[in-house]
Amino acid sequence: MVELPLRKSSGLEESLSLKQLAFCHEYMIDKNPIFAYIRAGYLGRGKVAEKESSRLLKLTKIQTKLQELKAQESSQVLDLPRRVVKEFEKIAFSRSPNLIENFGEGSNDNNLQAAIREIQVTQTDITLSMHDKSRALQALAQISGLNHDLNFALATLRKYGLHLYQENGTWLLSDEQHHNDIQLIESEVEEENS
């Protein structure tokens, strides 16, 4: 059963009974009105649960609340990638000296706390294990596209003084040393005009 918020978040919730509010929250779990009806604490089972849950779903105030909950759910889903990247950044860019300096002071630095995998305390020692920084950096590189084949190819070209760029739909390779542009790939429009 879903734990309901202690504070009401909108005026709409004031017009819903506690069971109706519970029904809405339970419905969001699996979108099954009959199971939501039963989990919300209604007593009907079988055909009664089927009929009453259908009736509840048709109520305007229930539909409005479900739309509100769906919007909240969508914003949380859309926010998830940003939160994942933020956690990887905390691990990847954490600095051990900052951790050591602030450890005795009971640091409330969330970035440092996120980087700690485990703390073991014995009578004589305190051992800190950190999350794998290189894995976090690799994950960030993958997410940001730094590990993409094109980026590797461009980096290799730059290493040898060459720059690949696109101008007016045409890919050009610029030799940094001689400033000669070599046309590699023409756009489809230019090919059709030939």
Q: What is the pLDDT of residues 53-92, one digit of tens each?
A: 999 999 999 999 999 999 888 877 777 788 888 888 888 8
Q: What is the per-residue pLDDT for 68? A: 93
Q: What is the per-residue pLDDT for 181? A: 42
Q: What is the per-residue pLDDT for 86? A: 86
The contacts of residue 53 (CB under 8 Å, 6+ apart) are 23, 33, 34, 36, 37
Q: What is the per-residue pLDDT for 190? A: 58
Q: What is the per-residue pLDDT for 63? A: 95
Q: What is the per-residue pLDDT for 109? A: 65
Q: What is the per-residue pLDDT for 100? A: 63
41: left (phi over 0), alpha (psi -120 to 50) or beta: left
**Torsion on CA atoms 106, 107, 112, 118, rounded to nearest 10:** 10
Q: What is the per-residue pLDDT for 105? A: 57
Domain ranges within the chain, ordered by starting residue: 11-78, 93-134, 148-193
Q: What is the per-residue pLDDT for 188? A: 47
Q: What is the per-residue pLDDT for 26? A: 92
CATH dotted code for 11-78: 1.10.10.1400
Q: What is the per-residue pLDDT for 176? A: 61
Q: 0.75 exceeded by the pTM? A: no
List, for the chain, all residue ranges whose pLDDT scores fall below the cut of 50. Answer: 1-3, 5-8, 178-189
